[in-house]
Amino acid sequence: MADFPFDVVGFDLDGTLLETHRDLGAAVNHALALGGFASVPADSAKDLIGGGAKIMLKRAIDDQGGLPDDEFHTLYKQMLAFYGDNHAVHTRPYPGAVEMLDELAARGVRVGVVTNKFEQFARAILGTLELVDRFDCVIGGDTMGKGRAKPAPDPILHARECCGGGRMVYVGDSSYDVRAARAAEVPVIAACYGYCDKPREELGADASIDSLSELIPVLEKL
């Protein structure tokens, strides 16, 4: 660890460690079909991601006129049920993810996941992909309780504590990630290959990467 500037690296999941939009898009389309709405193209799901599953579905429905709260809640529950059964059909780690995690482990760096995806889904997906044991903690959007998901700093601070403390950096692909890291007062790297909701220059991260193979060299320069 003496040659590395961080004790802990935290990662967002969707659009940062994992390419998840096809399975998320399928779940959204399942709910849309049940509600009588038109489906969205698989690739357009990238534009809906950010802030968690509920916000993702709401964006898709609002684009088609919206729904009363009670009807939306029913479709949201049906979406979650479908996703629970189909969470890792097409989902895969981004190129270089496994190698990057191997190198961090070899350097004695502790790693955690901080996502707005429900913890049970995050753990299930990482388990299916045989990655969950690589992380010291998996913090979901529901782990800390209502109102304490990103962009609140709480899950990032909790992840640092779970990983034993020390100097932490966070890696994510959205403004939610940058805002949460800023609130937690930790440096943040923008994963610009992911599902960014703003242009690179508007995210306001300390640095940016276009692939996970770039991450460690960038961290060494911070």
Burial (CB count <10 Å: 0-12, 13-18, 19+), residue 174: buried
Phi and psi, residue 145, nearest 5°: 105, 170
Q: Are strands 137-139 and 168-172 parallel, antiparallel or unpaired?
A: unpaired
Strands lying side by side in the sheet with 168-172: 137-139, 110-114, 8-11, 168-172, 188-191, 207-209
Which structure tokens are listed for 120? 């049970």
**89 three-class SS:** coil
Give how far Cα 217 sits from Cα of 75, 208, 209, Å: 44, 11, 10
Residues with a known catalytic role: 12
Considering only CA atoms, which of 38, 54, 46 is closest in space to residue 22? 46
